Amino acid sequence: MPGFQAAASDPSAIQVADQVMQAMGGRPAWDATRYLHWVFFGKRTHYWDKSTGDVRIEAGDQLVLMNINTKKGRAWEKGVEVTQPDSLAKCMQKGFAWWTNDMYWMFMPYKLKDTGVRLRSLGERPTKDGKPADVLELTFASVGLTPENKYDVYVDKATHLVTQWSYYDKATDAEPRFTMPWQDWRHVGRIMLAADHGKGDPWVVTAYDQLPRTVFTSPDPVAVQ
């Protein structure tokens, strides 16, 4: 992506990131995938139109319909639309934070060369299950909601798919807050996505070539398979 920190990244790390993208189907397949749906740890249901930036987020008794580019939209709480401007603005902020967090858990391997990202090679290490992996250190140059974060991303040497990651609150932290798996890789439309991110339950993951516009404009329940 424009703004990827290539000059500040290790060439060997960039090579591994390119192998990851190819293993998942390649950049053209990602670009050609328009609609994506997933459920984040059973808590929040997302529908995303990658072309327009429109999203639908269902979180318990809260519903947010917004555009992630403009950060404008509509919201409902317990079936009642939020119309008071300050309350609606808070709903938009919450919705954008939800989407930013949950999207990264779902699509991080597609964002290894995203705007503001720096990649460093940490060499070869075993994952928790003992398989050899190339490890990438991922940090950020003043982008996103949490630019101080850091990740160690484990890439399987045989499949070139991400199989584990470690999260650090701050790039200076000596130990990660958690280390979680990226498993159960499956074909979803044109691309591959991981459905197992730990904690037991596989994620619901779907790609669509078409979705009714009402998914992103109406509070009515979504009626697609």
Q: In total, how many domains does the chain have?
A: 1
Give 87-99 pLDDT, tens digit per residue: 999 999 999 999 9
In a domain, 200, yes or no: yes
Report whether 75 contacts 88 (CB < 8 A): yes
Q: Is residue 3 part of a domain?
A: no
Instruction: Indicate if the alpha-carbon torsion angle 27, 4, 103, 201 is positive or negative.
Output: positive
Mean pLDDT check: name the lowest of 64-68, 185-189, 202-206: 202-206
Looking at the chain, the whole-number percentage of residues with pLDDT higher than 90 is 90
Could you tell me if residue 61 is inside a domain?
yes
Boundaries of domain holding 44 = 11-217
pLDDT tens string 110-120:
999 999 999 99
- Domain assignment present for residue 18? The answer is yes
CATH number, domain at 93?
Answer: 2.50.20
With a CB cutoff of 8 Å and minimum separation 6, the contacts of 60 are 43
pTM for this entry = 0.93
Q: Would residue 35 count as lying in a domain? A: yes
Q: What share of the chain is helix, strand, coil (3-state, %, to 5)?
A: 20, 40, 40
Dist. CA 9–CA 92, nearest whole Å:
34
pLDDT score, position 56: 98
Is 223 within a domain? no
Residue 4 lies in a domain: no
Mean pLDDT of 132-148: 84
- 79 contacts 107 by C-beta, under 8 angstroms: no
Does residue 212 lie in a domain region?
A: yes
